[in-house]
Amino acid sequence: MSPSPALPGHPHIAQRDGALHVEALPLAALAREHGTPLFVYSKQWMLDALAAYQRGFEGRDALICYAMKANSSLGVLRVFAEAGCGFDIVSGGELARVLAAGADPAKVIFSGVGKTRAEMRQALAAGIACFNVESEAELEVLNAVALEEAGRRARISIRINPNVDPKTHPYISTGLKGNKFGVAHDRALATYRHAASLPGLEVVGIDCHIGSQITEASPYLDALERVLDLVVLIEEAGIPLHHLDFGGGLGIDYNHDTPPAADALWKQLLARLDARGFGQRKLVVEPGRSLVGNAGVCVTEVLYTKPGEDKNFCIVDAAMNDLPRPAMYQAFHRIVPLAARDAAGATTYDVVGPVCESGDWIGRDRELNVAQGDLLAVLSAGAYCMSMASNYNTRGRAAEVLVAGNRATLIRRRESVEDQLRNELT
Ligand SMILES: *Cc1c(COP(=O)(O)O)cnc(C)c1O
C-alpha cells in the first residue's frame, strides 16, 4: 500500500503531485482565483466530525447544537442546518444569522452571560428551544420579558458551574469557580427553586460547559458526576428536568494533540449516564471547535522575508485580524507550504502579519524553505478565526470558500474598503 498523501490529522488535506489540496481541489488555484488571505473549508471534514457525534448518540434522544460562534459564516451554518443540527447561539445577531441559514428555531438554544432584553424578546418571538440562563439576575429579567410578551413562557435551563478543571488554556477554561460563567454549584438548587416559582419561566433542563480545547475525557466525567448529583437534588425538590446539556469544549489536533474522538468520549459518558439511570434522558451537546476546527485552512502569500539580528521573519498577508488565536492565546497553528520545496534549504522563521503590533504573529520558530510570492497554508483555521476576524488596521476581512469534492463555492466575498466605510459618518 502506498502511504496516504493526507497530512496527519487532516484526512481531507493532502499533498498530491507536489501541490496541497483540500478534498479534490488544489489550494493554489483557489488562491489564484480568489486572492489571499483566503479561508478554505472542507465540507466532508465537517460532515465526518458531525457523524462522529451522531454515531456516539445512536439509539439515544440527543440534540447536537453546533456552537456557531466557532464559525458563523452562513455557508458553514447551512451545512449543519441541512444535516439536521440544532444550534447554540450567544447573541441576537447569531440568532438572525442562523435563521437566515435555514435553521429550525425549535432546535436553537441561547447561551451567554449578558443577554439583553431586546435579545430575549427576539428569541422568544422566534420560538427557540431553551435559554441557558447564567445568573439569578438574568432569571428575573427573562421572567419579566416573557410575561410582557403576551403570555409566552420562556423555556429555561440553568448553567451550572461544576468547578472542574478542564486542563486547558485559562482564557478558554469556563467551569472553574473564578469564571464569570454559570451559577455556582452551591447555589444551584436555590436558583432552580426560585426559577420554578417564576410564572414567566418553564424549567426544562440543566446545562454546563467547562471550557474549550479539552483533550482528555476526565474533566467531562467529573463534570457529569457533579451535574447528575445536582439533577438528583433538583428533581427531589419536585422540579423535573427534561434535558441534560453537557456543553461543548472537545478539542482538536492542532499540534500532536490527541483528544478523544467524539464517539469514543460519548461511549464513556453514556456508560456513566446509564449506570446512574439517566441514559434515556434527552441529551444536548454544544460542540463548536470539534465540528469545524480542522475543516479549514487559511491560505496566505509570503510578502517578504526579512533577516533580523536575532530572528528571521517571514512576513505574510494574513494577520492577527484574520488569525487571532496566536495573539490571543499563544495558540499553535501548523504552517505548510502549498508547493513543497527542498527541506534542505529551510530557515527558521517567525511567521508574522503586516499589522502594527508585536503580537501580530502566526507561528514562531518555524522551519520553512520559502521565498517571496510563495503560498502557505495555516492549518486548523476553521474555528475561532473568521468568526473572530476584525478590521484592525482597516484591513478587510478575508474571503471564504467551501469545497465539496471537486466543487468550490465562494461563501463570502472579500470585504472591500467601501464595505468598511459604509456605516461611518464625517
Ligand atoms: C463556546 C461555547 C461552546 C463551544 O465550545 P467549543 O470549545 O468550541 O466546543 C459551547 N457552549 C457554550 C456555552 C459556549 O460558550
What is the structure's pLDDT at 177?
66
> HEC string of 102-139?
CCCHHHEEECCCCCCHHHHHHHHHHCCCEEEECCHHHH
Are residues 261 and 134 part of one domain?
yes
- Judge if 349 and 246 occupy the same domain: no
Distance CA 151, CA 141 (A): 15
Distances in Å between the alpha carbon of 420 and those of 69, 226, 236, 414, 424?
22, 47, 55, 11, 8
Same domain, yes or no: 25 and 166: no
227 and 314 share one domain = no
Are residue 253 and residue 325 in the same domain, yes or no? no
Both 258 and 403 in a single domain? no
Please calculate the CA angle 299-304-307 and round it to the nearest 5 degrees: 125
pLDDT by position in tens, the chain (length 426): 445 688 988 999 999 999 999 999 999 999 999 999 999 999 999 999 999 999 999 999 999 999 999 999 999 999 999 999 999 999 999 999 999 999 999 999 999 999 999 999 999 999 999 999 999 999 999 999 999 975 789 999 999 998 887 766 665 566 666 677 889 999 999 999 999 999 999 999 999 999 999 999 999 999 999 999 999 999 999 999 999 999 999 999 999 999 999 999 999 999 999 999 999 999 999 999 999 999 999 999 999 999 988 999 999 999 999 999 999 999 999 999 999 777 788 999 999 999 999 899 999 999 999 999 999 999 999 999 999 999 999 999 999 999 999 999 999 999 999 999 999 999
Distance 24 CA to ligand 1 centre (A): 31
Q: Is any atom of ligand 1 closer than 6 Å to the C-beta of 209?
A: yes
Model confidence pTM above 0.75 = yes
Please tell me the distance between residue 36's alpha carbon and the centre of ligand 1 in angstroms. 29
248 lines ligand 1 (CB under 6 A): yes
264 φ, ψ (degrees, to nearest 5): -65, -40
Q: Do residue 228 and residue 355 come from a single domain?
A: no
Contact 191, 139 (CB under 8 A): yes
CB of 212 closer than 6 A to ligand 1?
yes
286: Cβ below 6 Å to ligand 1?
A: yes
Distance from the alpha carbon of residue 72 to the mean position of ligand 1, in angstroms:
13
Which CATH number belongs to the domain containing residue 360 in this structure?
2.40.37.10
Ligand 1 atom nearest 249 alpha carbon: 7
Number of domains the chain contains: 2
**Is residue 356 among the annotated active site residues?**
yes
Ligand 1 centroid to residue 70 C-alpha, Å? 8
Instruction: Tell me: do 297 and 258 sit in the same domain.
Output: no
The finding on whether 291 has its CB within 6 A of some atom of ligand 1 is no
Please check whether residue 69 lies inside any domain of the structure.
no
401, part of any domain: yes
> pLDDT (tens digit, 9 = 90+) per residue, 72-103?
999 999 999 999 999 999 999 999 999 999 99
User: Do the domain assignments include residue 71?
Assistant: no
As given in the structure block, the three cell numbers for residue 48 are 465526518
**Of 267, 287, 307, the domain-final residue:** 287
Choose the final residue of a domain: 242, 267, 287: 287
Is 389 among the domain residues? yes
Cα–Cα distance list, 272 to 230, 241, 277, 285 (Å): 15, 18, 9, 16
Together in a domain, 281 and 226: yes
Q: Which atom of ligand 1 is nearest to the CA of 383?
A: 8
pLDDT of residue 178: 67
β 296-307/347-352 pair status: unpaired
User: 229: part of which helix (H) or strand (E)?
Assistant: helix 218-236
202 with 327, same domain: the answer is no
For a pocket test of ligand 1, which of 209, 210, 292, 384 has the largest count of ligand atoms closer than 8 A to its C-beta? 209
Q: Are 283 and 313 in the same domain?
A: no
182 lines ligand 1 (CB under 6 A): no
Where helices occur in 237-340 by DSSP H, the ranges are 262-275, 289-292, 325-329
CATH code at 276? 3.20.20.10
Structural domain including 183 reads: 111-287
Cβ distance 156 to 234 under 8 Å?
no
pLDDT score, position 33 = 98
Q: How far is the CA of 131 from the centre of ligand 1 (A)?
A: 15
Instruction: Tell whether 235 is covered by a domain.
Output: yes
According to the model, what pLDDT value does residue 168 have? 65
Mutate to test the pocket of ligand 1, among 208, 212, 216 (most ligand atoms within 8 A of CB): 212
Quick check: is 80 in a domain?
A: no
Q: Does any domain span residue 283?
A: yes
Domain boundary among 287, 317, 346: 287
Q: Are residues 142 and 276 in the same domain?
A: yes
Provide the pLDDT for residue 1: 40
